Amino acid sequence: MKLLFIRHGETLGNAEKRYIGITDENLSRDGKVKLKTLIKNASYPTADRVYTSSLKRATQTAELIYPGVAAVRVSDFRECDFGDFEGRNYVELNGDPSYQIWIDSGGEMKFPNGESRAELSDRVILAFEKIMKTLYLKGAECTAFVVHKGTIMSIMDRYAKPERPYFDWSMQNGHGFICEAENWVANKILIFKKEL
Protein backbone atom coordinates (compact mmCIF):
# COMPACT_ATOMS: atom_id res chain seq x y z
CA MET A 1 0.00 0.00 0.00
CA LYS A 2 1.43 3.37 -1.07
CA LEU A 3 0.98 6.35 1.25
CA LEU A 4 1.57 9.99 0.34
CA PHE A 5 2.15 12.57 3.07
CA ILE A 6 1.75 16.11 1.71
CA ARG A 7 2.07 19.32 3.68
CA HIS A 8 -0.55 21.92 2.81
CA GLY A 9 0.30 24.89 0.59
CA GLU A 10 1.64 28.14 1.95
CA THR A 11 -0.42 30.62 3.98
CA LEU A 12 0.45 34.23 4.75
CA GLY A 13 1.44 33.16 8.27
CA ASN A 14 3.78 30.51 6.86
CA ALA A 15 5.43 33.09 4.59
CA GLU A 16 5.94 35.34 7.61
CA LYS A 17 7.45 32.41 9.59
CA ARG A 18 4.69 32.54 12.19
CA TYR A 19 3.56 29.70 14.43
CA ILE A 20 0.34 28.80 12.65
CA GLY A 21 -1.21 25.82 14.37
CA ILE A 22 -4.90 25.98 15.18
CA THR A 23 -5.38 29.30 13.38
CA ASP A 24 -7.62 28.48 10.42
CA GLU A 25 -5.86 30.38 7.63
CA ASN A 26 -6.64 30.10 3.93
CA LEU A 27 -3.94 29.41 1.40
CA SER A 28 -2.34 32.66 0.31
CA ARG A 29 -2.40 33.83 -3.30
CA ASP A 30 1.33 33.02 -3.55
CA GLY A 31 0.70 29.67 -1.91
CA LYS A 32 -1.87 28.75 -4.55
CA VAL A 33 0.47 29.81 -7.37
CA LYS A 34 3.35 27.72 -5.96
CA LEU A 35 1.07 24.73 -5.46
CA LYS A 36 -0.30 24.97 -9.01
CA THR A 37 3.29 24.98 -10.30
CA LEU A 38 4.04 21.79 -8.36
CA ILE A 39 0.84 20.21 -9.71
CA LYS A 40 1.71 21.26 -13.28
CA ASN A 41 5.14 19.64 -12.92
CA ALA A 42 3.39 16.35 -12.08
CA SER A 43 4.95 16.13 -8.62
CA TYR A 44 1.99 14.32 -7.03
CA PRO A 45 1.08 10.69 -7.72
CA THR A 46 -2.59 9.90 -8.14
CA ALA A 47 -4.47 8.72 -5.07
CA ASP A 48 -7.73 6.83 -4.71
CA ARG A 49 -8.34 8.08 -1.15
CA VAL A 50 -7.53 11.43 0.46
CA TYR A 51 -7.52 12.43 4.12
CA THR A 52 -7.05 15.99 5.38
CA SER A 53 -7.27 17.84 8.65
CA SER A 54 -10.34 19.98 9.27
CA LEU A 55 -8.37 23.22 8.72
CA LYS A 56 -8.94 25.24 5.52
CA ARG A 57 -5.32 25.28 4.36
CA ALA A 58 -5.29 21.46 4.25
CA THR A 59 -8.72 21.03 2.64
CA GLN A 60 -7.98 23.73 0.03
CA THR A 61 -4.68 22.04 -0.84
CA ALA A 62 -6.38 18.66 -1.23
CA GLU A 63 -9.01 20.19 -3.53
CA LEU A 64 -6.29 21.64 -5.77
CA ILE A 65 -4.13 18.50 -5.91
CA TYR A 66 -6.93 15.93 -6.04
CA PRO A 67 -9.98 17.55 -7.65
CA GLY A 68 -12.89 15.16 -7.80
CA VAL A 69 -11.63 12.99 -4.94
CA ALA A 70 -13.81 13.49 -1.87
CA ALA A 71 -11.45 14.10 1.05
CA VAL A 72 -12.24 12.76 4.49
CA ARG A 73 -11.63 15.43 7.14
CA VAL A 74 -10.01 14.22 10.33
CA SER A 75 -10.02 16.78 13.15
CA ASP A 76 -7.20 15.02 15.03
CA PHE A 77 -4.87 15.60 12.06
CA ARG A 78 -4.85 19.36 12.82
CA GLU A 79 -1.54 21.06 13.54
CA CYS A 80 -0.17 21.58 17.05
CA ASP A 81 -1.81 24.15 19.29
CA PHE A 82 1.06 26.61 19.78
CA GLY A 83 -0.73 28.30 22.68
CA ASP A 84 0.73 31.70 23.59
CA PHE A 85 3.07 31.56 20.57
CA GLU A 86 0.22 31.09 18.08
CA GLY A 87 0.35 33.66 15.29
CA ARG A 88 3.70 35.07 16.38
CA ASN A 89 7.15 34.65 14.83
CA TYR A 90 10.72 34.42 16.12
CA VAL A 91 11.31 38.17 15.84
CA GLU A 92 8.24 38.93 17.95
CA LEU A 93 9.07 36.21 20.49
CA ASN A 94 12.78 37.04 20.79
CA GLY A 95 13.45 38.08 24.38
CA ASP A 96 10.33 36.40 25.76
CA PRO A 97 11.57 34.24 28.70
CA SER A 98 8.91 31.55 28.13
CA TYR A 99 9.98 31.26 24.49
CA GLN A 100 13.63 30.87 25.46
CA ILE A 101 12.71 28.15 27.97
CA TRP A 102 10.79 26.32 25.24
CA ILE A 103 13.73 26.67 22.79
CA ASP A 104 16.16 25.39 25.45
CA SER A 105 13.98 22.28 25.86
CA GLY A 106 14.69 21.31 22.26
CA GLY A 107 11.01 21.69 21.44
CA GLU A 108 10.01 19.02 23.97
CA MET A 109 8.18 21.25 26.45
CA LYS A 110 4.51 22.03 26.18
CA PHE A 111 3.80 25.36 24.48
CA PRO A 112 2.50 27.74 27.16
CA ASN A 113 -1.30 27.28 27.16
CA GLY A 114 -0.97 24.92 24.17
CA GLU A 115 0.12 21.36 23.39
CA SER A 116 3.38 19.51 23.77
CA ARG A 117 4.98 17.60 20.92
CA ALA A 118 4.07 14.37 22.75
CA GLU A 119 0.40 15.41 22.99
CA LEU A 120 0.34 16.27 19.29
CA SER A 121 1.93 12.94 18.42
CA ASP A 122 -0.43 10.89 20.61
CA ARG A 123 -3.47 12.56 19.04
CA VAL A 124 -2.23 12.13 15.48
CA ILE A 125 -1.04 8.53 15.93
CA LEU A 126 -4.34 7.38 17.41
CA ALA A 127 -6.24 8.78 14.41
CA PHE A 128 -3.68 7.45 11.92
CA GLU A 129 -3.79 3.90 13.29
CA LYS A 130 -7.60 3.79 13.04
CA ILE A 131 -7.42 4.89 9.40
CA MET A 132 -4.63 2.44 8.59
CA LYS A 133 -6.68 -0.45 9.94
CA THR A 134 -9.56 0.56 7.65
CA LEU A 135 -7.26 1.02 4.64
CA TYR A 136 -5.66 -2.37 5.20
CA LEU A 137 -9.04 -4.13 5.46
CA LYS A 138 -10.29 -2.43 2.27
CA GLY A 139 -7.12 -3.25 0.32
CA ALA A 140 -6.35 0.40 -0.47
CA GLU A 141 -3.67 0.96 -3.11
CA CYS A 142 -2.67 4.63 -2.78
CA THR A 143 -3.82 7.05 -0.10
CA ALA A 144 -2.86 10.71 0.30
CA PHE A 145 -2.73 12.51 3.64
CA VAL A 146 -2.83 16.25 2.95
CA VAL A 147 -2.13 17.65 6.37
CA HIS A 148 0.37 19.70 8.41
CA LYS A 149 4.10 19.59 9.05
CA GLY A 150 3.71 18.56 12.69
CA THR A 151 1.21 15.85 11.72
CA ILE A 152 3.53 14.37 9.11
CA MET A 153 6.61 14.62 11.34
CA SER A 154 4.75 12.77 14.11
CA ILE A 155 3.79 9.91 11.78
CA MET A 156 7.23 9.63 10.17
CA ASP A 157 9.00 9.80 13.52
CA ARG A 158 6.90 6.92 14.84
CA TYR A 159 6.82 4.55 11.84
CA ALA A 160 9.29 5.45 9.08
CA LYS A 161 12.28 3.32 8.15
CA PRO A 162 15.07 4.18 7.84
CA GLU A 163 14.72 6.18 11.03
CA ARG A 164 15.55 9.87 11.31
CA PRO A 165 15.31 12.32 14.21
CA TYR A 166 11.91 14.05 14.48
CA PHE A 167 13.01 17.43 13.11
CA ASP A 168 14.79 15.79 10.15
CA TRP A 169 11.34 14.93 8.77
CA SER A 170 10.57 18.64 8.26
CA MET A 171 9.36 19.70 4.80
CA GLN A 172 8.38 22.83 2.87
CA ASN A 173 4.79 23.73 2.03
CA GLY A 174 3.40 21.57 -0.77
CA HIS A 175 6.07 18.90 -0.27
CA GLY A 176 6.20 15.66 1.64
CA PHE A 177 7.04 11.97 1.40
CA ILE A 178 6.09 8.81 -0.44
CA CYS A 179 6.08 5.65 1.68
CA GLU A 180 4.96 2.06 1.44
CA ALA A 181 3.24 0.28 4.31
CA GLU A 182 4.99 -3.03 4.67
CA ASN A 183 3.04 -5.76 6.47
CA TRP A 184 1.26 -3.04 8.44
CA VAL A 185 -0.81 -5.23 10.74
CA ALA A 186 2.21 -7.20 12.00
CA ASN A 187 4.98 -4.61 11.85
CA LYS A 188 3.49 -1.11 11.57
CA ILE A 189 6.36 0.08 9.42
CA LEU A 190 6.38 2.73 6.69
CA ILE A 191 9.22 2.29 4.23
CA PHE A 192 10.36 5.75 3.14
CA LYS A 193 10.75 5.76 -0.66
CA LYS A 194 11.29 9.36 -1.73
CA GLU A 195 10.52 13.00 -1.10
CA LEU A 196 7.80 14.82 -2.97
Domain ranges of the chain: 2-195
The CA distance from 150 to 171, in Å, is 10
CA 82/CA 112 separation, integer angstroms:
8
Could you tell me how far CA 187 lies from the centroid of its own chain? 23
Q: Could you give the count of Cα atoms lying within 13 Å of 87 in the half-sphere of its Cβ?
A: 6
Q: What is the pLDDT along the chain (196 residues), one digit of tens a residue?
A: 999 999 999 999 999 999 999 999 999 999 999 999 999 987 799 999 999 999 999 999 999 999 999 999 999 999 999 999 999 999 999 999 999 999 999 888 999 999 999 999 999 999 999 999 999 888 889 999 999 999 999 999 999 999 999 999 999 999 999 999 977 888 899 999 999 9
Asked if residues 31 and 10 have their Cβ atoms less than 8 Å apart, the reply is yes
The Cα–Cα gap between 78 and 117 comes to 13
pTM score, whole prediction: 0.95
Percent of the chain that is helix, strand, coil (3-state, to 5): 45, 20, 40
Contact 5, 192 (CB under 8 A): no
Q: Give 160's DSSP letter.
A: E
Q: Return the bridge partners of 180, or none.
A: 2, 191
- Per CATH, the number for 2-195 is 3.40.50.1240
**Rounded Cα distance, 59 and 64, in Å:** 9
| Ramachandran angles phi, psi of 167, nearest 5° | -70, -15
